[in-house]
Amino acid sequence: MISVQEILTSIDIGLIFGIVAVGIYLTFRTINFADLTCDGSFVLGAAVSSVLVKYGTNPYIALFVSLIAGGIIGLCTGILHVKVKISDLLSGIIVAFILYSINLRIMGNAPNITFMDNESVFSGRDTTLTLAGITFFTIAALISLLFSGFGLKLRSTGYNRKFGPIIGINIKSMIIIGLMLSNSMIALGGGLFSQYQGFCDISEGTGTLVSGLASVVIGEKVLQFKKEPLLILSCIVGSIIYRIFINIALNSDVFGIKTSDINLVTGFMIISIIAARRMKKNDCA
């Protein structure tokens, strides 16, 4: 049986990683750029916010600085791609690679910082509600941006890179802005996660991309929104569903399933969601 506490934890983590999934959506879907910076920028956000909170900065300001730091890293990846002409995959990989050392520097060369006694955005408040508030605010801002004329230009980058320049859209700057937006979201997620846990570890970025992409796909298949800005919302829902999947897998020990098998179980659940939707479509046709 899955308990309320577990579901709440899944929702908490789902909301945090939902913001990360939105970041991944912005690159992989909106501007069609396979950005692998995310594993690094997630830890960057966590590191920046942890260090600031540890030395007594207001936790909200710390989150904001994380967001800015992520944006700067996105800018770096963008410049590598647009100006230095390194391919999208490689520029992301290089930046994430470099970030490992930078993150360690930020954390004062310690791979692990704890600040459980310091004030975080969650102190004295209901965790889930706080997270829901922060997520809502972030998503609302992002959706209104994507619905604007500027957002239309940004989205066109993903659809047709040849056509944009003809009607006067500067594709290169759109790619850079997209990367900045995306990585600032991911770093914000990292900052939130570190404050949620009360510590930050240099290894916590591993798997960010995989869980984020899985969330994006689950959200798209389950909600099936057609209008693009709304798809942002489905990332959050997808992320929560993904965490609940893991929860179900964790609770399948009655069937002899061990923790080491949960990737298998979660993977199958994701495949079955996609397959179920596919079959339904075929029926209609």
Q: What does the block give as tokens for 39?
A: 């594993």
Q: String of b and e for 76-104 (b: at least 16 CB within 10 Å)?
A: bbbbbbbeeebebeebbbbbbeebbebbe
Where on the chain is the footprint of another protein (CB under 8 A)?
1, 3-6, 8-10, 13, 17, 100, 104, 109-112, 114, 116-117, 193, 197-199, 201-204, 206-207, 211, 243, 246-247, 250-251, 253-254, 258-260, 262
CB of 47 to another protein, least distance (A): 12
- The Cα–Cα gap between 285 and 281 comes to 6
Q: Which residue's CB is nearer to another protein, number 103 or number 138?
A: 103
CB of 199 to another protein, least distance (A): 5
CB of 100 to another protein, least distance (A): 6
CB of 172 to another protein, least distance (A): 33
H helices then E strands: how many in the chain?
Answer: 11, 2
CB of 213 to another protein, least distance (A): 15
CB of 250 to another protein, least distance (A): 5
Q: Which residue's CB is nearer to another protein, number 233 or number 262?
A: 262
Q: Which residue's CB is nearer to another protein, number 28 or number 242?
A: 242
Query: 61 near 52, Cβ under 8 Å?
Result: yes
Residues 6+ apart with CB under 8 A from 128: 8, 11, 12, 15
Q: Which residue's CB is nearer to another protein, number 134 or number 181?
A: 134
Q: Which residue's CB is nearer to another protein, number 3 or number 224?
A: 3
Q: String of b and e for 20-40 (b: at least 16 CB within 10 Å)?
A: bbbbbbbbbbbbbbebbbbbb
Q: What does the block give as tokens for 116?
A: 């459980």
The 3-state DSSP composition of the chain as helix, strand, coil percent (nearest 5) reads: 75, 0, 20
Q: Which residue's CB is nearer to another protein, number 207 or number 267?
A: 207
